[in-house]
Amino acid sequence: MSIDNAQDVKLNIKPLTIGLVHEYVFEGPCRFGRGEELTAEFDEARTAQIAGDWNEQLVNNLGKFGFVNVMDPYVSKRDETFPLTDEILDEACADAEEVDLYAVTYYPFGIDLALQVAKRTKKPIACLLTGSATGTATIATLSAHGCECYGWTNWQEAETDVRALLARKVMGSLRVLALVRNNSTTSISAPDSFIDHGVVADKMGIRFTYMNLHEFVDQTHECDPSENPSLPGRVENNITAEEAAEIERMTDELVACACEVDMPKENVAKSMKAHVLTKKLLAKTGCNGFTAPCPDMCATRRLNEEQFTMCLNHSLNNEEGICSACEYDVTALVSMQLLSAISRTAPYMGNTMIVKYDVDSTVSAPKSLSKHEEAFAAFKESIEGRSGIVCTYHSTPNRKLKGFDADASDYAIRPFAMDGRWGATIRYDFAKDAGQVVTVARFDPTCSKLFVARGSIVSGAGYYDENCSEGVYYAVNDIDAFNEGSKATGNHMALVYGDVFDATVRYGQIAGFDVIACA
């Protein structure tokens, strides 16, 4: 069984050229020309040229993105009576189930046909507004009829809309496997997560599968799969001998490639075991997103007994394109999926707080930096005379923050547990990425608002430390707007490298959210 990775989702764009081939040679108030310009052969050639040019523009400007599939074009060649029969619509809409967006152009009329395609398929229509008077008429007509439509003045606008539409499709394909202990909606540490998963499902098409955390922990054991205490007699998905060997191989590779390893390899393997089981259960349940509670799970003492945390699992999932969130924060998970779909990079999430509001405010050393005065001194220097500094911190960075297709970044492996040296975490030095633009986002608990912010990295913290102390510090232009957005949506912010602010805001508008923007 395999996992349907959201990063494999593509937006299918269907080029639609609505042409006109006259049956008779004549002139009139809407037809004029000389000689062969009035022939059917000329119309055929002209329509073919326009269709070819349109397809080429779409391929060159949008098809260059790996997430866009420009489909085989459809060319309509109606005569001057402008027929609109079921047969013509059947042809135009033949592969509508596969189409995500119709991109339409005309020679010279055809808005009536575009309207009927939109009405029949319920799919959005897009066109260029420049160079043709039919563009604005298309948008006005379709909008008046309640159809979804997009008018682009340039290809940059088109890219923004296409990324937003891709994100909407990706969100509809998200299937979340959620470990639960006491509550299937929120955990003790994330009460600001979505109040009602049914609302999330209705609005975005996301589905949820719930699993008891004790069943999960039992299945990390390599034993008779019918002898789990929580599921006596049921044959479940326990780690097999073959998977145990793969866990050792994966652990050896992770340790060998790390710049520093500050814990016993056998303890890294215990966290890797939880990751392998998670992937196995995701495939079995048909899910492609994951979250698990933290304090709720910790309180059982089973993590202490088994000596693993879910940190490494989250990091490895995220860099593989499977969004995975700490603390059973489904809102953070969905926000991560949104940003990852738009940016094509691996997301990060964590506790988020304003650490420096204005130029005159001071910053005391975070606990994680108290052991590293040199690092704190460099951090203070980097924010000297600056305002609007925000920190997002959790022990779940990954090696693909700069893109799924990019080389893996350098990293260290350190424990979560400070005394027992267990609970493997990946550590990443965010400070070396000073100047990197990031985009931050979070939905609100009612699934009606979306907060989006743009920032620029100034420093990092926690690279040398244990526990949940890893952090990235970034500056935002409007700290008041960031504060308001945080108050409206909550704590755990999702973050990606790259400036995808415009496309994320556009997604919120398209998907019907009240967008709170901090540009």
Whether residue 115 contacts residue 87, with contact meaning beta carbons closer than 8 Å, is answered with no
Q: Which fold has domain 6-153?
A: Rossmann fold (3.40.50)
pLDDT at 365: 66
Cα separation, 28 vs 57, in Å, equals 32
For 311-325, how does the pLDDT look when each residue is reduced to its tens digit (9 = 90+)?
Answer: 999 999 999 999 999
Beta partners for residue 105, in sequence order: 17
Closest CA to 457 of 467, 444, 471: 471
What's the rounded mean pLDDT across residues 215-234?
96
Tokens found for residue 390: 């925000």
Whether residue 444 contacts residue 490, with contact meaning beta carbons closer than 8 Å, is answered with yes
Beta partners for residue 212, in sequence order: 180
pLDDT at 213: 96
Residue ranges, CATH 3.40.50.720, the chain: 6-153
Q: Is 354 helix (H, G, I), strand (E, B) or coil?
A: strand
Whether residue 370 is predicted with pLDDT greater than 60 in this model: the reply is no
What torsion do the CA atoms of 372, 375, 380, 381 make, to the nearest 10 degrees? 140
Average of per-residue pLDDT values in the chain: 94
Rg (CA), the chain: 27
Whether residue 369 is predicted with pLDDT greater than 60 in this model: the reply is no
pLDDT at 459: 92
Residues 6 or more apart whose Cβ sits within 8 Å of residue 291: 176, 177, 178, 179, 324, 325, 326, 327, 328, 329, 330, 332, 333
For 107-148, how does the pLDDT look when each residue is reduced to its tens digit (9 = 90+)?
Answer: 989 999 999 999 999 999 999 998 888 999 999 999 999 999
pLDDT at 381: 83
What torsion do the CA atoms of 435, 439, 444, 450 make, to the nearest 10 degrees? 130
How many percent of the chain have pLDDT more than 90? 85
Which helix (DSSP H) or strand (DSSP E) does residue 440 occupy?
strand 437-443
Q: Quickly list DSSP for 132-146.
A: -THHHHHHHHHHHTT
Q: Is 212 helix (H, G, I), strand (E, B) or coil?
A: strand
Neighbours of 251 (CB within 10 A): 23
What's the rounded mean pLDDT across residues 59-78?
96
